[in-house]
Amino acid sequence: MMKTVFMGSTTNPADHIVNEARINHICQNNDHAKAFLKAYSDYAHMIDDAVDGDLKGDIERVVRVNSEWTGQLLFNPFVEKIKGVIYPVMMAGLNAWADSEIATKHPDIRIRRAADVLKSYHAEIIYQIAYHVGGYDHMREVSKMWRTFDFDFQDEPEETKPE
């Protein structure tokens, strides 16, 4: 599947994976912000894998990721400080992702194209974290470097494609 980078410095999607070095940069070495972003990333990928059918009964992963995510939401002082801002962003991202899953099956080609943008809304959490640890200029820097959209657009709706 072809992936295209928007506003990024490379066309290699692997260069845009959230890893430890990138988390350090985004979070400006704020340990609480880093722990939250890592847990958020792990949780989002696990949920996506569950929906896509890629989780396949990995109970150890489910328990570990849910435990870490729950702990971050309940006890992380960084999250406590920004929860009034971060929660609506998380809800908007979840809503957009759900809509994107529906849109991939829509008969209208324009709606299927929009699915790529909708599913990328979850990344707004990254830019909010960058803003809260480093201000507006840091948020803009991170946004310009890391804003990518995974273009998975299909010419035909998923449900009508021949197997």
> The dihedral of CA 12, 18, 20, 21: what is its sign?
positive
Q: Per the domain annotation, does 1 fall within a domain?
A: no
Asked, for residue 106, whether it belongs to a domain, the answer is yes
Domain count, the chain: 1
132 has a pLDDT exceeding 70 = yes
Tell me the percentage of the chain whose pLDDT exceeds 70: 79
Report yes or no on 3 lying in a domain.
Answer: no
Query: Does residue 157 surpass a pLDDT of 80?
Result: no
25 belongs to a structural domain: yes
* 21-80 pLDDT tens trace: 889 999 999 999 999 999 998 998 898 888 888 888 889 999 999 999 999 999 999 999
Work out the mean pLDDT of the chain and round it to a whole number: 82
Domain that holds residue 118: 13-160
Biggest distance spanned by C-alpha atoms of the chain: 50
In a domain, 5, yes or no: no
Higher pLDDT, 151 or 85: 85
